[in-house]
Structure 1
Amino acid sequence: MKNSFIPFVFGLLFLFSANITLAQGEFNLTGGAGTPEMVNVGFRIQLDQYQYGLSIGTSPGYKNENFNASADFYYHFAGRSQQTDLPPWYGKAGITYMHSEGEWEKRMNLLFVPRLGREFNVTPQFGVALEAGLMLMLVDRNTAKKERTDAVTGDLDLIGSGFILPSAGLKIFYRLGQ
């Protein structure tokens, strides 16, 4: 129950945004995978050369309960596409909240994720985006739930111990209302 608040907020934002932007043709549904976003789904709203996005994700098959939520800002600035007027090259600045809870510990991370990316528009409605950059640790909270024995090495650390690490992502997107 305590983790249902974030999906609820994203759901409300999704419905509100969809109602406003579907008539204008500036709404994108997205799905993808990356670090730190994991496997994710989301949406983006386009205003001129800018896009604002929200997504939620998880790491399926990972033994711990885990999820993340990301909010991103995109600025499209260069190149041309035959499929759309939006320039395919973009800079992205994102904030990602990650939560992981296992038998031994509970971890919360907040990351700043700047990236450079490019969209490949297959049709006017459908495309693929590749992006690469960094992730910078803003908050790293790790709370032990119970004491470990010598034989236990700990839960998988998704972020590692570094403050600045590489980051990359792959997204597919579908434009509604085009």
Structure 2
Amino acid sequence: METKENKLNEELEEVNSLPEEKPKSKFNPKVLIFGLPIFVVQLIVVYFITANILLKKMDGRTIETKNSTVAEEIKDEEKLATDTVNQNLGEHIFQIEDIIVNPANTQGQQLLLSSVAFDVPEANIAKDLEKKQILVKDMIISVLSSKTIHQLSSNDYRDSLRVEISKKVQNKFSNVKINKVYFSKYIIN
């Protein structure tokens, strides 16, 4: 029995004398060294793809849909213009000088300077607009400042601006009829 105990004691001593194995750490420094920079690079790539490619495509799609409605509005204006051909165009003009606006999404970095003139069929309508000049100017500013630089710099879109401004003024003042809207000054900086 003593021999069995001796053997057990010797085995215990051998087991105790063996260096203890440390439990393996679940953290691998290679992941930190290689994985983190790769992750950051992926984030940067996704950001640039989103900012430069996808947003421009989305902006283009909204412009395309707006351009189709703009074409319809231009046709409506042409109908109105043919109705007013019999009237003397350019005889009664009301003008608002030097409207300065910050276009949408420019954070004040770009400006639009414009002067807008309204061709109206009667002198009393021009006088009414002159009395309500502040309201008319505010309507024009709200229309122009809601547009992006891309929209404002497009010649085709400028025609739709004429229609939009004309409709907005005519909707606000029911007694006002506008033959045509002119931009006597239109400068983007």
Q: Fold conserved (TM > 0.5)? A: no
Relative to the length of structure 1, the TM-score reads 0.27
Q: Which has the larger radius of gyration?
A: 2
Relative to the length of structure 2, the TM-score reads 0.26
> Which one has a larger percent strand, Structure 1 or Structure 2?
1
> Which one has a larger percent helix, Structure 1 or Structure 2?
2
